[in-house]
Amino acid sequence: VQPRPPPSTPPPTPPPPQARTRLAPSPTGALHLGNARTFLINHALAASSGWETILRIEDLDTPRVKPGAAAEIAATLRWLGLAWTGPVLVQSEDLSPYRAALAQLARAGLAYPCALSRGDIAAASAPQAGDHETPFPPSLRPPGAGQPYDPTEIATTTSDPPNWRFLCPPGPVEFTDAFAGPRSIDPAATVGDFVLWTKRDQPSYQLAVVVDDQRQGVTHIVRGDDLLDSAARQLRLRRALGYPPATDPTFIHVPLVLGVDGRRLAKRHGDTRVEHYRSRAVPPERIIGLLAAFSGVTPRDQRTPMSTDEFVARFSLDKLPKGPITFTPEDDRWLLAAEC
């Protein structure tokens, strides 16, 4: 008599991937009220939707990184009641994942070395208003662009290291931002062959952020809408690196906080650092209360001190104003007012 086979068990269904978001400050300065609002919105969405939150320090922009800023930002975020789990990723501590991604693109003929300086490129292209990066048109590609390269060989044989650029395919990238709505952005037309790796032997923001969002399993990206254009570049890079479209993160780009002159919040608008108010004994509830008025949680002119938990309970993306918010001198006075 044959032993009966064990009752068949259905194959285990893989658990759904844990939804995950990241707080990704650049330690180029202290957290101001505008950054704080974006991080608070990120925190509120994560807390109310059950996403895990991780902290990533984006410190690759070395000339602009300020010593001690990363620790100070983390302390400010904690003081505001924001939390994260797991180890903190500090990008500068290990460049090998970014190097591997560059090597993959170079071997596929999708990245090429380029010795042209910013000035050479600016001289050859029409200036575009509001562009941070000088657009790099295909006409400036060196003859070798598109051929496979081994970036390790190049790096060791040149005394004057080049930038590495992405061979950006033409055409629009279509995606739907969960706050800003459907978008169609053509990176080839706006920035052209953007930089992946700099002469200083460092990955660019675009390359590093794409590699990290993928290897850290980030499913939701909440950030300022000054990075909407970058989302298209990042989606292009994701395809070039072979990341499955099903793993593309959901983008939630939120409007920025501006000064009364309509420009993004900066030193010229006075000291808007959260630490400035903290040092003047402003309690966190007052900061959160102002950010609540900036986020549609309370009417714009009815600032009320609020706990972080209450902000989380009352915030929703539908309430968030569609346009930028203006930080006014009255807001500053309200924060510094003696009684709540």
**C-alpha to C-alpha distance for 292 and 335, rounded to whole angstroms:** 13
Taking residues 182 to 221 in sequence order and writing x for each that binds ligand GLU by CB under 6 A, - otherwise, the string is: ---------------------------x------------
CA gap 5, 194 in Å, rounded: 60
Q: How far is the CB of 280 from ligand GLU (least distance, A)?
A: 25
Give the binding range for ligand GLU (CB under 6 A) out of 21-29, 72-80, 155-163, 239-247: 21-29
CA distance 163 to 144: 14
Place of tokens 């259905």: 10
How many C-beta atoms lie closer than 10 Å to residue 69's C-beta? 19
Contact segment (CB under 6 A) with ligand GLU among 19-27, 143-151, 172-180, 281-289 equals: 19-27
Q: Is 297 in the site for ligand GLU (CB under 6 A)?
A: no
Kind of pairing between the strands at 220-224 and 250-254: parallel
The helix (run of H) or strand (run of E) holding residue 164 is: strand 163-166
Residues 6+ apart with CB under 8 A from 331: 290, 303
Q: Which is nearer to ligand GLU, 222 or 282 (CB)?
A: 222
Site track 224-243 with ligand GLU (rule: CB under 6 A), x = hit = ---x----------------
Point out which residues pair with 221 in neighbouring strands: 251
Among 42, 46, 54, 58, binds ligand GLU (CB under 6 A): 58
Residue among 34 and 113 whose Cβ is closer to ligand GLU? 34
Distances in Å between the alpha carbon of 298 and those of 173, 251, 274?
Answer: 36, 25, 20
Q: Does the protein bind ligand GLU through residue 223 (CB under 6 A)?
A: yes
Question: Of 26, 91, 204, 272, which one interacts with ligand GLU (CB under 6 A)?
Answer: 26
Interacting residues with ligand GLU (CB under 6 A): 24-26, 58, 209, 223, 227
